A and B are shown apart, each in its own frame.
Chain A
Amino acid sequence: MEKNTKQRVALYTFYVLFVVLLLLGTRCESRVHLTTPEKDAKHIAELAETVHTEADLRKVEKLASQYEIAYRKSFGGAKALYFKSLYEPIVDEAGERRAAFRAEEDMLMAQEELFDSLLADMDKAWTMELGSEEDEHQKIAQNNEVIAQKQDALAEQIAAKEQYAMDIIDAGYPQDMLNTLGEMEAAIVVAEQEIAEVEHNNYIIALANKLQRGLDLNVIVEEACDCECDCEDEFCQE
């Protein structure tokens, strides 16, 4: 009987200890251990020096915020504000450092994209079937005409959009007009893309002629005119 009681007591003690440990474990995980604002800010500064990625920065910001909350809970607002004044410049500096890294990453990505697109364009130009020299001039001239037409249309679209934007101000920014303005802006973006596409086609044609025939077609076509006329253009006279 006595043995059974001892066993029960041991079992209950074990359960209670287990629950206490479990609770302590979860609390320890989410809480930070405060020392002094200076020491804690130094800890944040050490971590901030290792910031390289966006995730690193978020981690430092989160930790600093956890410390600040802990100071507020334990010592009140004054100490929390004092701690904030110590860590805020450190986190800001880390943010600036991260922004610099991001700018470098963006530049590198742009260079990678340029590298790939230059080689892809050359591949396309090498495999493009070329017609006679005259046909090639014709293709570029036709594309130039299309570009000119599209640019005129684009200029009209932009002017209309600007006028509409003024009308919206006068009308007091009604939602339906704002939606229409958004559609007009989207149409302008599409038109710009279409122009860029035709310009790129011309670039590929010129590149194909340059690579396959050693012919600098762009210069000729861009400056081309009807040489039978009394053109005073220097290029035509040549």
Chain B
Amino acid sequence: MKRIVVALGAVVALSACCNRGGEAIVIDEQNHLNEAYNLSFELASAVMEAENYEEFKVAADNIKAHKEAFRQQIGGESYQIFLEESNMILSE
């Protein structure tokens, strides 16, 4: 019984840690339109300027995480702007 409780506790703690990791990126709700423009430019430029695969992976994961944050937290016009601006730079 004790073992089960300990195992359950570990699972709960782990899932809590995972959730906290997922919420790391917080988009400023008061300024989300500007953030969409600025972050898309900054993050997509980082992807384009990567000098090796490792740098690319870090930059790509970062922009993907921000895209997801925009989608989940803001959505609408700002999310669309983030995607459009990012795509414009990524396809250069």
Contacts and interface: CB of A to CB of B under 8 A. Distances in A.
Interface of A: 107-108, 111-112, 114-115, 118-119, 122-123, 126-127, 211
B90 A112 contact: no
Contact of A108 (B56, B64, B83): B83
Interface of B: 47, 50, 52-53, 56-57, 60, 63-64, 67, 79-80, 83-84, 86-87, 90-91
B56 A115 contact: no
B91 A119 contact: no
A123 B56 CA distance: 8
B90 to A, nearest CB: 4
B60 A119 contact: yes
A119 B84 CA distance: 14
A115 B83 contact: yes
Contacts of B50: 126, 211
A108 B64 CA distance: 16
Contact of A123 (B52, B60, B63): B60
A126 B90 contact: no
Given A122-B47, A122-B56, A126-B53, A115 B90 contact: yes
Most buried by A among B50, B63, B64, B83: B83
A111 B87 contact: yes
Contacts of B87: 111, 114-115, 118
A14 B79 CA distance: 60
Contacts of A115: 67, 83, 86-87, 90
Contacts of B64: 119
